[in-house]
Structures are given as C-alpha cells and as structure tokens.
Structure 1
Amino acid sequence: MTYHPKSDFLATLVERGYLADCTDLQALDEAALAGPIVAYIGYDATAPSLHVGHLLNVMLLRLLQKTGHQPITLMGGGTTKVGDPSFRSDERPLLSPEQIGQNIASMQRVFARYLDYDAAERPALMLDNAEWLDGLNYLEFLRDIGRHFSVNRMLSFESVKSRLDREQSLSFLEFNYMILQAYDFLELYRRYGCRLQMGGSDQWGNIVNGVDLTRRVLDAEIFGLTTPLMVTADGRKMGKTAGGAVWLDPELLSPYEFWQFWRNVADADVGRFLRLYTELPLDECARLGALGGAEINEAKIRLAGEVTTLLHGAEAAAAAEATAREVFERGGAGQELPRLELGAGDVADGISVAQLFVRSGLAKSGKDAKRLIAEGGARIEDEAVTDPGRILDAEALAAPLKLSAGKKRHALVVLKAGATS
C-alpha cells in the first residue's frame, strides 16, 4: 500500500513530483509532523555557478523552508578537494583553494535568491564542510569512522560499480569521497540536529552511507530522500544544451538567455516543469500543461516568466519577455539580447562575419560558423549571410547589429563609444 504523507512538506513534495526514493517515508513524515526538521543538500564547488541541473533541489530546499523547516546549504569546501566520482567516466580536475573559495562565493549569490538566510525563525544556514574535514587526523578518522564501512558494500554501489565495469580508473582519493560525505551527515547531526539529507537520485548510495554511519555511531534516527533524475522529453539531461550549461549566475548567462531556455522547452515537458520549477497552484499547472496547438506557447511563456522571476526578479523576466516579443513578433533588435561589445582594436582591420558569430557565442568555432552560414541558418539584421569571410568595418558596425543563428538564438553586436573615430 502506498503511504500518503500528511505533513505539508512531504505531501507537497509528493504531489508536485519531487520524490524518487526515501529511506523511511512514513517515519520521516511523522518527524515532520512532530516539529521542524533540519535538512541539508551538499554542493561541491567544482564550477563558478550552479546550473539548471541543480535547480530542482534548490526548489526543494525552498519548499522545505516555506513549510516551516530549516534548510542547510552545505558547500563542499572540503569534499571538492577530493571530487565526487558518482557516474563519472574520469577523475575531476583538482581545484586550488582559491578557485574553490571563488566558486562558493558566486554560488552563494544564487542561493540567496531562493532561500531566506535572515529569517527570524529557522533561517537557512550556509555551511562549509572544510570546517570539519580540513582538520581531520587521518589515523583517528580511519579508526573511528573507516571501520564502519565495508569495502565489499562500497564496491556494490552503482556509481562505483559502473566505473569499474567499464574498466575505467577509480583513484583511492575518489573512493574516499563517499566516506567523507557520510561523515558530513554525522557532523551535521552532531552540530545542528540535522536529520535529513536530500539530493539527486545519483546520490542515493552516498546518502544511505551517511544514514547508516550516523545510526551506528550515534544511534540516531535520520533519513535520506532523493529526487528523480531530470531528463527532458527527448531524453537529454536537464540543463544541457548545444550551447553548454544553462547557468544560474547572470554573469555567465543573461536573464534573457535563461528565459529563452524555458520558453523553448518541449511541449511534453511544460506541465511537469511548471509543477517542479514554479510555485503556481497544481490545478493551474495542469491547465497550462494540457494546452495544445499555438496555445501551448503561452504556457511556455508563463513557465519562462515564473522561473525567471524566482531567479532574476520580476523586472528581468518582464524585460526578457518584451525582448522576445520584439525580436520574434516584430523583427526588432531587443536591448536585452546577449551583447558582444567591440572596441577600436577589434575593428581596426575589420572583422569577418564568421568571427562575429564565434565571438558572440552563436557558434562554437570558425568551422561551426561556416557550417551555420552554409546551411542558411545565419542572419544579420534578418538578412541571410552567404559569405563567412565578408569583412565588416567600424562604419558598418556604427549601429548595433542583430545576429541570428536559426530562429531562436540571437545576439547584439555593439561598437563601444569612440571606436569609430
């Protein structure tokens, strides 16, 4: 018989589709009903920003706080020095402490859009596992913590097994990662009374290790919960596009480009994404997701607006929508488009059309730009480009130019003041 949670947090979590697995759903529900629970999700600082693939679990932390519980965003200042091997084919490149610190600082700005770290009651906590991992004594750690782990069991976890089955190297450094993550849960329980670790379904093995370790060492009742692996209707991993990762930091991806990502999702994904990535009522999500024909485009615009508002604010979302309507419906060159700014040195000898498409991010390389042009997908000011070697000088670039790659990707080329003199 399927258990139906009664606590606001878990009932909403199940209704909206966030749940993949839970170590003991009924016991966790009873704990949530008995009083506020503290829960965490860990984030290694391997990149300068979170991306859309992280957003599901960020929304889960937001739901946790909005239903009266306390979220912890645990930054992996310590574990990033090791690298999570889960479902990777090779070892992550090791980062310097300075790079890790910079990455954590930029990620904090994103979290602050979704979580309240200054709430009077149960504020979100931002912690760094370097606080307890950096000072570990290796021999004491092996004796006190390592003895609770079975190598046979560790080898059986799918994240490790898949790597070994493909005969790909797994370093001893990486093999220690799951022990360190389990130790994080133990320390968070000791220090903050944290009773729940959440994460993506690829973290199930690591989460279960933490639950088992804390029960063995402290005889504590704690829980693990995972969200589904997010793939789009066409089977692609959520957040990956032809242009690369869909970053949540506006310095790496403009609000307009973020808005466009959601505007362009597949029809079949609209209802599910509305449930998971917005806070619209479920009946409204169902209504919008059921629209067909041209009407589904308005549902996608609503999805893009709601998600962009949460991350970048209502003004940025409105500006992105206005730019999109200007570009697509009226053929204009909206000011919120991604911009390529050129200086005098860039245009001293002119610049080729192919270079413009590469430097604006609409093509990955000169070869990619030439292919785009040859296939008729490149346009300047809505006119087809036929010659990749065509040179544009400062006079030709005196006014902003709109570049288009296909029907959905655009950029503005702008010459800095004084570059024409």
Structure 2
Amino acid sequence: MSSVYTELLERGYIKQLTHENEIKELLEKDKVTFYIGFDPTADSLHVGHFIALMFMAHMQKAGHRPIALLGGGTAMIGDPSGKTDMRKMLTKEEISHNIESIKKQMERFIDFSDDKALLVNNGDWLLDLNYVDFIRDIGVHFSVNRMLTAECFKQRLENGLSFLEFNYMLMQGYDFYVLNEKYGCIMELGGDDQWSNMIAGMELIRRKAQKPAYAMTCSLLTNSEGKKMGKTEKGALWLDAEKTSPYEFYQYWRNIDDSDVEKCLSLLTFLPMEEVRRLSALEGSKINEAKKVLAFEVTKLVHGEEEALKAKEASEALFGAGKDLSSVPSVTILSDRLGSSLLDILVETKIIPSKGEGKRLIQQGGLSLNDEKVEDFTRILNKDDIKDGACMIRRGKKNYNRIIVE
C-alpha cells in the first residue's frame, strides 16, 4: 500500500522539503504529529487556505495527527511574506473574533474529535513572553545575516522592513519549538511562501533541543500563468458563504481556464487520480464536463452537498436547459426604490462594491440589465425593467444576480 507521501507527490502538493529520505520513511512507517499555521487576519479563511486544509486532511486520512495553529499572537505583528507593505495592525478583540469564526470553518475539513487533531492558539505562549528572556533564549540561535537572505525579507528591504516584522520569523520558529516540546510535533507543513520561516523553526529545534524536525511545503494555488488563483472582482474567494455565496464560489471553478483543470481537480478534491486524469484528458467543449465536476466537488467540500446542488441548478438554469432561477443569488428591494439610479441600487444591495467599480464595468461593456448592456451611468431602474417581479443583472460574462421587487 502506498504512503501518503506518494499520494501527495502524485497530486502535486509537495513543493519543497527538508530531509527527503527521512520524511518519506517517516510517513511510510510511522504516525507523526505535524502542524500548519493560520494567522487570523480576517474572520474567514479564503481559497488560498483551502489548499492547506486539503493538505492537512490528506495527512489525517492517512493516520497522521494534525495541529491547526491559530496565530493569536503572531497576528499581532503580521507576516511580511509576500507583502510589499506592512500589514494592518489588528486589535486583540478583532483577532479573538476572527479565531472563533475560523475554528468553525476548519471543523468542516478536519476531525478534531477524540484527540485526532488539535486546535491551538499561539497567543497562549507568545503574548506573555518576557522579551529579554526570549531574545536571550531564542534569539541567540538566529543569524541576522542568514535572515536577511530570506525571500520574505529581501523583497521588503527596499521599501522598508520594520523591526516589528523582523521578529516574525523568530516567533514562528518558536511556535514550532513549543509544539515540539508540548505535543511531540516533528513536522511543519505550509505554503511555499513560508519556506524561510519553516526552515527557521526546524533548525531551532535541531539546535536547541537536539531533536529531529522537518518541514514540507505545498504548492501555492496558481494558474497556468503563475498568478495566484482565488481573486474575484469583489476581492478574495472566501470560504464564508456570507462573503462569497455558494453560487459565486461554484461559478469561479466552473469558469477556470482549461489548462488549470487538472491541477485544481488534483489539489482541491478527493477524486481518485484515475478519475482526475480521465476528466483532465477531455478535449474541446467536453472539458466543460470536467469543470462542472470540479465546481460541484469543491463547493460540496466547502459549503455542503445541498448548497452545491443549489449552485449547480442555478448555473444550469442560466446557462443550460433548466428553468428554476430560485437558486441564483438574489437581493430584494422595495417597490418605492424603482425610479432610482441603477448604480445606487447595485451598491446598496452589494451586487457591486462601489459606484466607481460600476462605472468601470459600464465603460468596459460588462454590465447588463435583462441581457441589455447598460451604457449610461445615470440609468434608472424602472417598472418596465421588472418582469415577473424581478430583473436580472449580469456582471462580466457569467456573474448573475436577480433583483426581486416587493
């Protein structure tokens, strides 16, 4: 029977790792405790975190024990990795609220019952640290010269890197050390942009505790052009249904480029690789069948089967032979709003984020009302626009919203 290492490799998760032969042997013969860190910088995880959750879920299914580490302490500083500017500073209250929201999302993917996985908060040990003791005990094991060669710091040096953020690597490294001491955690997993921070923790354990420790990164979710996936016109593709509706979530995956289908099926579903390869080999218009499977499977994992079915039905109603529009994302306005500016109504109902975005859409020919392009910024929504109590808004080619009038 093949190990989870073979499966992760085949599905395209593994990007970089330390001590390859040792890790391969460990995952084949032993059950290890590993962790992945999530900084609660928002009250929802987004699709960039989803690949990490899938990484974790595959490991757990193979019998390994995950620790989901929520950064109640590190979020007070902010990770400089991949950022050109300093992150927004969050209050303790905002961080606590975000942690509670994220916990609920994680429980959909990871089984925390009977100690099968742990959910811990690094604020429990970071927030009450004595700084002088920390620098003497932990800082002594870090070389500033070595740290400055890390990619996460190099790209910030030109624009200015605060000493506050410079501490982040020490704190993440210390997290790994604490988890190793308290829970026997010997491996850190994470996105490839975390490689430098992960190496720091692994080396800290090996130097200070004289014990084995390992790190393994997963591929970031990028498209065939190397750009990060998961961005929509409204911003990030969130796992929270209030921020990104199940329909919008479904449509995102339904409309990805043909060249990205195999990667997404491999990384974001549990479909057997034989089926992934079969679907990915479809050509021409038949590749749309693979995209439908992808959209349904990912939406089912994130929002549940019922919501995935609703999203599928709504999509088919708009683009296929179906007629039931009840699952299309809808907003309701009162009839006394008729006669008002269409742009005002779209902003009020959050169909578009701002008037500026609405004007940009109109200029580019990307906004339609009942399949007619809106060409005037001052367009009014009239009674004549309402058919059977509603009208249909289209943004771009395939983003639809119904406006129901009461």
Question: TM-score, normalization: structure 1?
Answer: 0.91
Q: Would the alpha carbon gap of residues 234 and 337 (structure 1) be closer, same or farther in structure 2, given more than 3 Å must change?
A: farther
Whether 1:149 and 2:142 are equivalent positions in the alignment is: yes
Note the 1:86-165 alignment, pairs <5 A. 86-118=81-113, 120=114, 122-164=115-157
Give the unaligned 5+ runs of structure 2: none
User: Shift in Å at residue 244 of structure 1?
Assistant: 1.1
User: Shift in Å at residue 7 of structure 1?
Assistant: 5.8
Note the 1:173-252 alignment, pairs <5 A. 173-252=164-243
Q: Deviations over 1:295-326 (max 9, x none)?
A: 00111000001111111111111111110010
User: Identity, % of aligned pairs?
Assistant: 43
Name which of 61, 81, 94 aligns with 1:66. Answer: 61
User: Shift in Å at residue 35 of structure 1?
Assistant: 2.3
Q: Deviations over 1:99-142 (max 9, x none)?
A: 10111111112211111111x4x512111000111111111111
Name which of 342, 359, 379 aligns with 1:390. Answer: 379
Give the corresponding residue for 1:20: 15
What is the aligned length?
405
User: Shift in Å at residue 407 of structure 1?
Assistant: 2.3
User: Shift in Å at residue 36 of structure 1?
Assistant: 1.1
Give the corresponding residue for 1:3: none
Give the corresponding residue for 1:168: 159
Q: Deviations over 1:263-311 (max 9, x none)?
A: 0110001011111111111111011111111100111000001111111
Note the 1:216-295 alignment, pairs <5 A. 216-295=207-286
Note the 1:301-340 alignment, pairs <5 A. 301-330=292-321, 334-340=325-331
CA contact (8 A) 1:248 1:311 kept: yes
CA contact (8 A) 2:5 2:28 kept: no
Q: Deviations over 1:34-83 (max 9, x none)?
A: 32100110011111211111111110000011000111110000000011
SS in 2 for 1:225: strand
Give the corresponding residue for 1:403: 393
Matched letter for residue 351 of structure 1: S
Distance of 1:11 and 1:272 partners within structure 2: 16
Q: Would the alpha carbon gap of residues 371 and 28 (structure 1) be closer, same or farther in structure 2, given more than 3 Å must change?
A: closer
User: Shift in Å at residue 395 of structure 1?
Assistant: 8.6
Aligned CA-pair RMSD: 2.0
CA contact (8 A) 1:157 1:205 kept: yes
Q: Would the alpha carbon gap of residues 351 and 271 (structure 1) be closer, same or farther in structure 2, given more than 3 Å must change?
A: same
Q: Would the alpha carbon gap of residues 360 and 296 (structure 1) be closer, same or farther in structure 2, given more than 3 Å must change?
A: farther
Give the unaligned 5+ runs of structure 1: 1-5
CA contact (8 A) 1:16 1:282 kept: yes
Q: Deviations over 1:311-367 (max 9, x none)?
A: 1111111111110010112485722222333357xx457321222343455544324
SS in 2 for 1:391: coil
SS in 2 for 1:319: helix
Whether 1:30 and 2:30 are equivalent positions in the alignment is: no
Question: TM-score, normalization: structure 2?
Answer: 0.94
